Amino acid sequence: MTWLELAEDHPFGVHNLPLCSFGRECAEWVGVRIGDRILNLAGAESLGLVDAGGSLDGETTLNRFLAEGRPTWTRLREQLTGLFSDSRQREKVEPLLFEVGEVRLGLPFDVADYVDFYSFEQHARNLGKLFRPGMEPLLPNWKHLPVGYHGRAGTVVVSGTEIPRPWGQRKRPDDAAPTYGPSERLDIEAELGFVVGVSSGGAVPVDEFREYVYGAVIVNDWSARDLQAWEYQPLGPFTGKSFRTSVSPWVVSLDALDAARVPGPVQEPGVLPYLQGRAHHGYDIRLEVTWNGTVVSRPPFAGMYWTPAQQLAHLTVNGAFARTGDLYASGTISGASPEETGSFIERTWNGAQPVRLSDGSSRSFLLDGDTVTISATAPGVDGAAVAFGEVTGTVVQEL
């Protein structure tokens, strides 16, 4: 129960409490969403209403708080639950509340490194068929390690940021030589991104996942398929993906996702010991992809082959540090049917089966002016959903 007059099952109720960076005029703070409002956490800590070791007071991004680690994360969650449940706190808390619709939402944390995996089997099979026709779609390493690459942290942007159509080299099938120009096959990738809080000195075992990772955001890994297809061999994605990557403004904690945990998939062949552990579990998170207002797919995260704990173990197994603010994305989420795919190259099967939008037009890849919005929810306690909010972006012509 809360004095905030929220419906019991509000998807941003006391069971969720996602963190953000927000601002008004020239001021900026860190905050927490409750219902359709945001509590100014920087202000709350400076007034002594919460205590996160000074990591919120005066801060405009979550990095210092994320670096504090699990005891502080748990304490803040308990303190906030207390503040929002105890009606005697109302008088002190209310002046620090802002309507979500009246603020500007920023990138919630400074992104340190950005890694993107390729961990959904159906997606890997689909892209294998589309990029390497006639070959075995799943390459020999795929079931032994979570395939991934390092992306570009500096071009991760918050939801609502415009996406200029990237230009680059592409080689059209009938052309003898590559040409330079705007991408003609601009696509999305619907993913979840996990946010590292605590820096590691090296390898993070599967079972220490919760000590290092704070929570998750929705990711749209915009992808220019024509640039990608021409440039990617043998080193992997480069300018076809590095131009922008959008994230949702709310960081949902692993604590809020406990009720959504599902067993990790059975992995056959078995994996090496460093990829094993009890924390090998997934999450039942359901995404929805909307193209100019028409829902075109509902990708199911629960079917992910490599789990977030295994991905972190793998990306640090060589002794690489994980750092506060690292973002590692799951890979495109694509279930078995076209209506569950997380990219348009799969949804339209390379343009062979365009999708019809509610305005009567049809699409294969993105046109200038198109808007894509990805939302996500997970089951929470007592039947109340945990919302991630959304990540949205509109493609604009680069002048």
Ligand X SMILES: O=C(O)/C=C/C(=O)CC(=O)CC(=O)O
Q: Interface with Ca ion by CB under 5 A: which range of 22-30, 116-124, 167-175, 363-371?
A: 116-124
149 is in an annotated binding site: no
Binding string, residues 274-303; x marks residues near ligand X by CB under 6 A: ------------------------------
Q: Which does 245 bind (CB under 5 to 8 A by kind): Ca ion, Mg ion, ligand X, none?
A: Mg ion
Q: How far apart are CA 210 and CA 84, in angstroms?
A: 25
Q: Which residue lies nearest Ca ion, judged by its C-beta? A: 221
Q: Which residue lies nearest Mg ion, judged by its C-beta? A: 245
Q: 15 vs 185, which CB is nearer to Mg ion?
A: 185
Q: 225 vs 286, which CB is nearer to Ca ion?
A: 225
216: amino acid identity, one letter: A
Structural element, H or E, at residue 371: strand 371-379
Which one of residues 57, 116, 346, 370 is an interface residue with Ca ion (CB under 5 A)?
Answer: 116
Which one of residues 123, 170, 286, 363 is an interface residue with ligand X (CB under 6 A)?
Answer: 123
Residue 248 near residue 269, CB atoms below 8 Å? no
Identify the CA nearest to 173 among candidates 127, 216, 135, 133: 133
Return the residues of window 164-223 that contact Mg ion according to CB under 5 A.
221
Q: Which does 128 bind (CB under 5 to 8 A by kind): Ca ion, Mg ion, ligand X, none?
A: ligand X
Q: Which does 249 bind (CB under 5 to 8 A by kind): Mg ion, Ca ion, ligand X, none?
A: none
Q: 244 vs 363, which CB is nearer to Mg ion?
A: 244
Note whether 68 binds Ca ion by CB under 5 A.
no
SS (H, E, C) 98-114: EEHHHCEEECCCCCCCE
Q: Which residues are catalytic?
A: 123
Q: Interface with Mg ion by CB under 5 A: which range of 39-47, 123-131, 180-188, 242-250?
A: 242-250
Note whether 131 binds ligand X by CB under 6 A.
yes
Note whether 221 binds Ca ion by CB under 5 A.
yes
397 is in an annotated binding site: no
Q: 16 vs 220, which CB is nearer to Mg ion?
A: 220
- Residue 390 is encoded by which pair of tokens? 């959304």
Q: Interface with ligand X by CB under 6 A: which range of 58-66, 93-101, 125-133, 288-296?
A: 125-133
311: amino acid identity, one letter: Q
Surface-to-core class of residue 156, CB atoms within 10 Å of its CB (0-12 exposed, 13-18 middle, 19+ buried):
buried
Exposure string for 299-323, b = 16+ CB within 10 A, e = fewer: bbbbbbbbbbbbbbbbbbbeeeebe
Note whether 331 binds ligand X by CB under 6 A.
yes
Q: How far apart are CA 327 and CA 89, in angstroms?
A: 35
Residue with structure tokens 């906030």?
80
332 is in an annotated binding site: yes
228 is in an annotated binding site: yes
- Residue 203 is encoded by which pair of tokens? 């390898």
Contacts of residue 284, defined as CB under 8 A and 6 or more positions apart, other chains included, come to: 260, 261, 262, 300, 301, 302, 378, 379
Residue 144 near residue 360, CB atoms below 8 Å? no
What is the contact surface with ligand X in residues (CB under 6 A)?
116, 118, 123, 127-128, 131, 189, 191, 221, 237, 331-332
Annotated binding-site positions for Ca(2+)? 116, 189, 191, 221
What is the contact surface with Mg ion in residues (CB under 5 A)?
221, 241, 245
